[in-house]
Amino acid sequence: MVKEDCEVRVLGAPEAQVVQTKDISMEKPLLICGFPSAGVVRTIAANSIIEQFKMHEVAHVRSRYMPSAAVFIDGRLRHPFRIYASNEHNILVVTTELMVAEEGMYHVSSALLDWAASVGVKETVVLDGIPVQGVPKERKVLFAAEEEKIAELEKHKEMEIFQKGIITGISGSILSETLCRDMIGIALLTPAITMIPDPEGAVSLLQALNRLYSIGAEVEELEKSGEVIKQKMHEIAEHNEGQRRGEIARRGYERMYA
């Protein structure tokens, strides 16, 4: 369980530290990581879980490899790289609005997973978006995992194995570090709109988490938001196509009377 009266606990090296501000007593909690991505799908999914389950911030990460910045949520100052806990659902969620510098990814991911191991984490799930142009035609979730987890994931026909590729950034660094620990790393990826928030992509990731871990995340509100964005993009596409046809017609007119 999460206790308010915790003696502050710091774990890590000077380059990156996890500062735990509340006591945690959980049985092999699941660690879910949601960082900035295409369509910010993983951030939307992570924040949706945090809000739905009324999770409490229990720790944060400090590192000289992260930008010096203040984050405001509902007018309240928050640490840029936060860790939340839900005793009821036995999960931890990590999220941040900032990018970690390339040279510091090893230090940050190593400190995070050292701390996670110290509180009993055995599985770490990284959520990610695969950038595509326009609205994705398919929303199937792809997965990549360590060998002992593949057979279990393949039972879920709604998902497909990510046959070959590279996951970079802090997500890739975290997955790489799980290989060095008594911990299973899993990546769940879905196609996502590149330039704007994509709630529909976040829905796909949440549904995958529900299937795999029965966390019970609600997706109805995000589905509604996704439909609105899809309609707006359709309207923009139609407007752009109308302008393009008008431009072609105008040029044809100019050639006729040049």
Distance from C-alpha of 169 to C-alpha of 165, rounded to nearest angstrom: 13
Q: Domain extents for the chain?
A: 2-218
Looking at residue 42, its pLDDT comes to 78
Residue 211 CB: number of other CB atoms within 10 A?
A: 15
Token pair, residue 32, equals 């879910």
Contacts of 140 (CB under 8 A, 6+ apart): 158, 159, 160, 190, 204
pLDDT of residue 73: 75
Q: How far is CA 177 from the centre of its chain?
A: 17
Tell me what pLDDT residue 250 has: 55
Distance CA 159, CA 121 (A): 24
Distance CA 225, CA 53 (A): 20
Residue with tokens 């230090």: 107
Query: DSSP state, 35?
Result: -
Model pTM? 0.82
- Cite the DSSP H helix spans in the chain: 41-52, 105-118, 147-154, 169-178, 199-213, 220-256
Whole-angstrom Cα distance, residue 100 to residue 105? 6
* Measured distance CA(158)–CA(160) in Å, rounded: 7
Would you write out the chain's pLDDT as a tens digit for each of its 258 residues?
Answer: 555 555 566 766 678 999 999 998 899 999 999 887 766 787 888 988 999 999 999 999 999 998 887 788 778 888 889 999 999 999 999 998 888 999 999 999 999 999 999 999 999 999 988 888 777 777 889 999 999 999 999 999 889 998 888 888 899 999 999 998 999 999 999 988 877 778 888 899 999 999 999 999 998 888 876 565 555 545 544 545 445 555 545 555 455 554
Q: Which of 255, 108, 136 is nearest to 193 (CA)?
A: 136
Cα torsion 174, 175, 178, 179 to 10°: value is -130
- What residue has token string 């110290």? 118
Architecture of domain 2-218: 3-Layer(aba) Sandwich (3.40)
What is the rounded (10 degree) CA torsion for 245, 247, 248, 252?
Answer: 140
Taking the CA atoms of 114, 115, 120 and 125 in sequence, report the sign of the dihedral they define: negative
C-alpha dihedral sign at 171, 176, 177, 183: positive
